[in-house]
A and B are shown apart, each in its own frame.
Chain A
Amino acid sequence: MTDATATDSRSGTDRAMIYFAERARWRGPEVALWIGAFALAFLFPSRALLFNEVAILALFALSLDLVLGYAGIVSLGHGAFFGLGAYAAGLLAKAGAGAAPLSDPTLGLLFAALVCAAVGYVTSFLVLRGSDLTRLMVTLGVALIFQEIANRMAWLTGGADGLQGVAPANILGMFEFDLYGRNAYLYSLTVLMVLFVFARKIVHSPFGISLRAIKGNSLRAGAIGIPVNRRLNGAYTLGAAYAGVAGALLAQTTAFVSLDVLDFHRSADVMLIVVFGGVGTLYGAVVGAAAFKAMYDVLAAATPQYWEFWLGLVLVLLVLFVRGGVMGLLGAFYARLQRVGGRP
């Protein structure tokens, strides 16, 4: 009896080790997706500017997915960090007058990430107090304060005219930001991929699992010793830094920052992207961003003014009819395939 339990236990442990490794394993489609994304730069060089926008949007959405999908914080003002990152990188590049060291793009990203992490950390304490509704209001309020600041401090931000002359130096001192945006796209995509891999690592780490636990049941999470608020502070800070890098990429690759980076629309758009792609899936951010841009291209090309209407309609339909977003549908489809074609 005792012996049997012991051997069972040993094989159980082996199974469990495999189980954990399997959960975090890189899968074929993932690798294909990233290779494909890089291939796009060479297959359709003329659309590189568009791809660049998608990559930036995907990173921005990824940052919200960390906050919303993993930490469960509903934010109406996530655009604040995107805008802050854009201004941080823009101002640094401007200070360096387009030459290294200050205008170095990598340094710009780092600077934006640090500024946003610091501001995100401080505001996380405000955001984490209270219910969902209070969080909505605080995040929206903070975003509006940022917008006001950027608007009123025209001497620093350029106000409504935008921040001009923020062209960064060459990437790693070697690659120029070309006119067609191919290097810009490769640059943004690389940053996206690196940060994605890092996010993926975090999601499968004890820290990431504890975030999902908090989102699932914060009462139980506290009872097993998870410092709920501290973990959420961490997640919010991380999300802010990621959003800041996305904003910085936009500033660097377009060499321009306008008040538009802080617009409410950005916060709403990115929410749509994450929900459309699938909350708490990471890849939903990438898929959602691509779908969003594609949709924008088609619908806004037809009726540029009424894009907003279609956007609203998609939001409404999404809530009423689709649960789990694209990744949810794909996951269900994949599970069906396995059941039909796979083992008994």
Chain B
Amino acid sequence: MTAVLATEHLVRRFGGLTATNNVTFSLPAGARHALIGPNGAGKTTFVNLLSGVLAPTSGRVFLGGRDVTTWPAHMRARAGLSRTFQINQLFAEFTPLETIGLALSEAHGEGAQFWRRVGTSRAVVDEAVSTLERLGLGDVMEERVGSLPYGKQRLLEIAIAVAPKPKVLLLDEPAAGVPEGEREQILDIVAALPAEMALVLIEHDMDLVFRFARTISVLVGGALFVEGTASEVARDPRVRQVYLGESEIDHHIEPATGKTA
């Protein structure tokens, strides 16, 4: 299977700190992949390198087999790579409807049109509305984003990323800061995404990770520490020692049984 997203010897340094250390990684189409690691392991930095927010110090990034290392963020987005941010990056003055409408018009390559009023294409508006409704934002689609409650903003952060139907979607702690009761909703949304979309989920909650992931990478100190299927990683003694801690991992040896914790 060809990789939709891959890296070769990717390195990123901040001054003396190596935040991404020689990472070679590949993601097949339709992947359900979790990227885990302790705080400061370099997960967000890795996503930033993949999405073009940061340029690598060395190494290469491939998207659909093409070398995109020097591509700016918007070109990678147009090539089918979407992401969410750990900290919401929204347009506070927009409404959710405008936000998704904008994301779609850019995805359709109509973003530079200045002669046409926005929202005249029924197909695009319909797509925006159904995306919003699917993500539980239908009732607030005409409100100002900056005034929405945090949980709704978090959903919109995901909606922006999924609206253009990307080939690869990188989710950087989508449930971060969301109250316990609403986390389920976010996981359900992620679970309902099209099977052919390759997903990478960064998440600290092992419960969610093992319910979601078929494959897992563990990042420690910027380097790939362990890679494998969910159960391999769960059984790996090094992971138990270094990262997960003996007691917690026991709950997850059988990923299917789900919520033991």
Interfacial residues, chain A to chain B (CB-CB below 8 A)? 5, 8-9, 12-13, 15-17, 19-21, 23-24, 201-202, 204-210, 212-213, 216-217, 219-228, 230-231, 234
Known: A16-B119, A222-B77, A225-B74. A206 touches B111 (CB 8 A): yes
Residues of A within 8 A of B160 (CB): 220, 224
Closest to B126 in A: A13
Residues of A within 8 A of B103 (CB): 224-225
Residues of A within 8 A of B116 (CB): 205-206
Are A224 and B98 closer than 8 Å at their CB atoms? Answer: no
Question: In the complex, what's the smallest C-beta–C-beta distance from B21 to chain A, in angstroms?
Answer: 25
Q: Which 3 A-B pairs have the closest CB atoms?
A: A20-B119, A225-B77, A207-B114
Residue A206 contacts which of B90, B91, B105 (CB distance < 8 angstroms)?
B105
Cα distance A9–B125 in the bound complex, in angstroms? 11
Question: In the complex, what's the smallest C-beta–C-beta distance from A117 to chain B, in angstroms?
Answer: 14
Closest to A204 in B: B117
Are A224 and B164 closer than 8 Å at their CB atoms? Answer: yes
Closest to B134 in A: A5
Residues of A within 8 A of B138 (CB): 8, 12
Cα distance A107–B219 in the bound complex, in angstroms? 64
Cα distance A17–B119 in the bound complex, in angstroms? 6
Residues of A within 8 A of B89 (CB): 217, 219-220, 223
Are B129 and A16 closer than 8 Å at their CB atoms? Answer: yes
Known: A222-B77, A224-B160, A226-B111. A206 touches B133 (CB 8 A): no
Cα distance A21–B51 in the bound complex, in angstroms? 34
Closest to B132 in A: A12
Residues of A within 8 A of B130 (CB): 9, 12-13
Known: A207-B112, A210-B106. A20 touches B73 (CB 8 A): no
Residues of A within 8 A of B113 (CB): 205-207
Are A204 and B118 closer than 8 Å at their CB atoms? Answer: yes
Are B111 and A13 closer than 8 Å at their CB atoms? Answer: no
Residues of B within 8 A of A19 (CB): 97, 119, 142
Residue B164 contacts which of A5, A220, A225 (CB distance < 8 angstroms)?
A225
Residue B106 contacts which of A21, A217, A225 (CB distance < 8 angstroms)?
A225
Are B107 and A209 closer than 8 Å at their CB atoms? Answer: no
Interfacial residues, chain B to chain A (CB-CB below 8 A)? 51-53, 72-75, 77-78, 82-83, 85, 89-94, 97-98, 101-103, 105-107, 110-120, 122, 125-126, 128-130, 132-133, 138, 141-142, 160-161, 164
Cα distance A23–B117 in the bound complex, in angstroms? 10
Most chain A beta-carbon neighbours within 10 Å: one of B116, B117, B164 = B117
Closest to B103 in A: A224
Residues of A within 8 A of B93 (CB): 212, 216
Question: In the complex, what's the smallest C-beta–C-beta distance from B228 to chain A, in angstroms?
Answer: 30
Are B128 and A16 closer than 8 Å at their CB atoms? Answer: yes
Residues of B within 8 A of A20 (CB): 97, 101, 117-120, 125
Residues of A within 8 A of B125 (CB): 13, 16-17, 20
Are B98 and A206 closer than 8 Å at their CB atoms? Answer: no
Cα distance A156–B117 in the bound complex, in angstroms? 44
Question: In the complex, what's the smallest C-beta–C-beta distance from A214 to chain B, in angstroms?
Answer: 10
Known: A12-B129, A222-B73, A225-B164. A213 touches B117 (CB 8 A): no
Cα distance A297–B33 in the bound complex, in angstroms? 69
Residue A207 contacts which of B94, B98, B111, B142 (CB distance < 8 angstroms)?
B111
Residue B133 contacts which of A9, A204, A208, A226 (CB distance < 8 angstroms)?
A9
Are B129 and A206 closer than 8 Å at their CB atoms? Answer: no
Residues of A within 8 A of B92 (CB): 216-217
Are A17 and B118 closer than 8 Å at their CB atoms? Answer: no
Question: In the complex, what's the smallest C-beta–C-beta distance from A22 to chain B, in angstroms?
Answer: 10
Question: In the complex, what's the smallest C-beta–C-beta distance from B116 to chain A, in angstroms?
Answer: 6
Are B118 and A217 closer than 8 Å at their CB atoms? Answer: no
Residues of A within 8 A of B117 (CB): 20-21, 24, 201, 204-205
Are B101 and A226 closer than 8 Å at their CB atoms? Answer: no
Residue A213 contacts which of B52, B85, B94, B132 (CB distance < 8 angstroms)?
B94
Question: In the complex, what's the smallest C-beta–C-beta distance from A104 to chain B, in angstroms?
Answer: 26
Are A210 and B111 closer than 8 Å at their CB atoms? Answer: yes
Are A210 and B102 closer than 8 Å at their CB atoms? Answer: yes
Cα distance A120–B176 in the bound complex, in angstroms? 44
Residue A208 contacts which of B74, B83, B114 (CB distance < 8 angstroms)?
B114
